[in-house]
Amino acid sequence: MTVSKSQQKATNKYIKKQYDRINVTVPKGTKDIIKECANQANESVNSYICKAINMRMQSEQNQK
């Protein structure tokens, strides 16, 4: 599906307003492993990573 430049601009503006960005650096080869795991879970890489972070934070919160 082709997206117009104005639609992409509007989407980027929304994302910038609503979300924070975090750059994650992983060892070579790990990115492909994460992609494959996300695909197997029928999720985007972003969703997969966010869920993993949220599970870790929840687990640590429950340990307190």
In order, the DSSP letters of 2-39 are ---HHHHHHHHHHHHHH---------TTHHHHHHHHHH
| pLDDT tens figures, 3-55 | 899 999 999 999 999 999 999 999 999 999 999 999 999 999 999 999 999 99
Taking only the tens place, the pLDDT of each residue in 39-50 is 999 999 999 999
Q: How far apart are CA 30 and CA 38, in angstroms?
A: 12
Q: Is residue 35 situated within a structural domain?
A: yes
Q: Is residue 12 part of a domain?
A: no
In a domain, 32, yes or no: yes
Asked whether residue 33 is domain-assigned, the answer is yes
Provide the domain count of the chain.
Answer: 1
How much is the pLDDT for 2?
86
For the cut 90, the answer to whether the pLDDT of residue 64 exceeds it is: no
Residue 27's pLDDT is 98
41 is in which domain, residue-wise?
Answer: 26-64
Question: What does the pLDDT read at residue 37?
Answer: 98
